[in-house]
């Protein structure tokens, strides 16, 4: 009976996680597209950065973005936050149900490191918090003002963390854990930065004060970070179905390549949305990266998990 309940809970949570993730990713991609597509035109209201006409579902939409905020607070606002919160909450519940409570099956590989369930689950949970704190510290440091440098440091950190995870957990557990780390950073961006600063803007307007432009700039920065992290985290969450990725000798290197491919693909679409042309070279890079992933996946099993076979029994002479 316990097995049936656990499987049912897992199925329901996974369904909720996927549906919420579709909603979150869809809205994120849409608003990045919208923001990059805005055009400054004559005759726009004061404070408007640009506008965009769109057609969908048989109707026309006229979208405008204020650089800071409109002069008057609108009667109603639609907040985009519960998609992100539901995705993370359902994902964390799955993490606990499958990987923490079932650590002996999915998180621990005693040929890699002999851990207890409590040790493995505790290390995995703490790594979520510590990784977010490190990311947040980097963003708030002077490095946060230099996007390229920040991206490079963040990339090196995630690759190093993946390498460490593959020497602590099973391959499947390591892939899932690095995906959980990235997902936690993404939802923290929404919960800690984007939504609170939007609320500060609204509160300032209600109080008759001028909102600080930096609030919107910081929210935009974190939204862009989430945009570039989305494709890698989707790959990592799906990878548990493919042992050729997570159970291979160079599994950490596969993750390193995917962490590069995802942003490169997003760069293609973001460049098109912004009207800066179509950088078709990105697809060549992505194809080369996936070819490298396929080659690495055929490199053999992880050395740490290759258990020596017992020698065949000696034949006794009659």
Which secondary-structure segment (H or E) carries 50? strand 48-56
Residue 254 structural domain:
88-305
Asked, for residue 69, whether it belongs to a domain, the answer is no
What's the CA gap between 107 and 129, in Å, rounded? 18
* DSSP code of residue 68: S
State phi, psi for 121 to the nearest 5 degrees.
Answer: -65, -40
How many domains are contained in the chain? Answer: 1
Count Cβ atoms within 10 A of the Cβ of residue 280 and give its class: 0-12 exposed, 13-18 middle, 19 or more buried: exposed
Residues in CB range of 88: below 8 A, 6 or more apart: 183, 184, 187
Asked, for residue 236, whether it belongs to a domain, the answer is yes
Asked, for residue 157, whether it belongs to a domain, the answer is yes
Inter-residue contact 227 to 266 (CB < 8 Å):
yes
pLDDT number for residue 205:
82
Residues in CB range of 258: below 8 A, 6 or more apart: 232, 235, 236, 289, 293
Predicted confidence pLDDT, tens digits, the chain (318 residues): 777 887 888 889 999 999 999 999 999 898 888 888 888 888 888 888 898 988 988 899 888 888 777 877 777 888 889 999 999 999 999 999 999 988 998 999 999 999 999 999 999 999 999 999 999 999 999 999 999 999 999 999 999 999 999 999 999 999 999 999 999 999 999 999 999 998 888 888 888 888 888 888 898 899 999 999 999 999 998 988 888 899 888 999 999 999 999 999 999 999 998 888 899 999 999 999 999 999 998 887 766 444 444 455 555 554
Compute, in degrees rounded to 10, the torsion defined by CA atoms 113, 119, 120, 124: -130
Asked, for residue 176, whether it belongs to a domain, the answer is yes
pLDDT number for residue 305:
46
Q: How far is CA 242 from CA 171, 192, 236, 239, 247, in A?
A: 11, 34, 10, 5, 9
What's the CA gap between 104 and 121, in Å, rounded? 10
pLDDT number for residue 309:
44
pLDDT number for residue 227:
92
Asked, for residue 74, whether it belongs to a domain, the answer is no
Inter-residue contact 261 to 268 (CB < 8 Å):
no
Of 176, 151, 153, 154, nearest to 165 by C-alpha is 176
Asked, for residue 55, whether it belongs to a domain, the answer is no
Which secondary-structure segment (H or E) carries 64? strand 59-66
Q: Percentage helix, strand, coil, to 5, in the chain?
A: 70, 5, 25
**What count of other Cβ atoms lies within 10 Å of the Cβ of residue 296?**
20
Asked, for residue 213, whether it belongs to a domain, the answer is yes
Q: Which residue carries 């993370």 as its tokens? A: 88
Of 256, 194, 251, nearest to 227 by C-alpha is 194
pLDDT number for residue 316:
53
Asked, for residue 185, whether it belongs to a domain, the answer is yes
- For the record, the structure tokens of 192 come out as 């800690």
């Amino acid at each position: 009976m316990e097995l049936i309940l656990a499987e049912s809970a897992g199925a329901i949570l996974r369904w909720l996680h996927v549906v919420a993730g579709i909603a979150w990713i869809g809205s994120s991609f849409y608003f990045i597209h919208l923001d990059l597509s805005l055009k400054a035109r004559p005759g726009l209201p004061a404070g408007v950065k640009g506008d965009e006409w769109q057609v969908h579902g048989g109707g026309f939409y006229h979208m405008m973005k204020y650089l800071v905020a409109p002069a008057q607070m609108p009667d109603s606002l639609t907040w985009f936050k519960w998609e992100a919160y539901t995705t993370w909450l359902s994902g964390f519940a799955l993490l606990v149900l499958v990987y923490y409570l079932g650590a002996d099956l999915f998180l621990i590989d005693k040929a890699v490191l002999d851990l207890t369930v409590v040790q493995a689950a505790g290390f995995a949970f703490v790594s979520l918090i510590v990784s977010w704190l490190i990311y947040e510290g980097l963003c708030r440091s002077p490095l946060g003002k230099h996007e390229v440098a920040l991206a490079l440091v963040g990339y090196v950190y995630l690759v190093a963390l993946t390498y460490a995870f593959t020497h602590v957990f099973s391959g499947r557990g390591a892939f899932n854990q690095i995906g959980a780390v990235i997902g936690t950073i993404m939802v923290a961006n929404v919960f800690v930065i984007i939504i609170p600063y939007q609320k500060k803007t609204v509160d300032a307007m209600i109080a008759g004060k001028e909102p600080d432009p930096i609030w919107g700039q910081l929210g935009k920065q974190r939204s862009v970070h989430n945009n570039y992290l989305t494709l890698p985290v989707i790959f990592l969450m799906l990878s548990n179905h493919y042992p050729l990725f997570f159970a291979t000798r160079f599994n950490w290197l596969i993750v390193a390549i995917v962490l590069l491919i995802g942003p490169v693909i997003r760069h293609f679409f973001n460049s098109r949305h912004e009207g800066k042309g179509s950088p078709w070279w990105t697809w060549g890079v992505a194809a080369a990266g996936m070819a490298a992933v396929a080659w690495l996946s055929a490199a053999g099993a992880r050395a740490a998990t290759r258990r020596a076979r017992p020698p065949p029994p000696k034949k006794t002479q009659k």
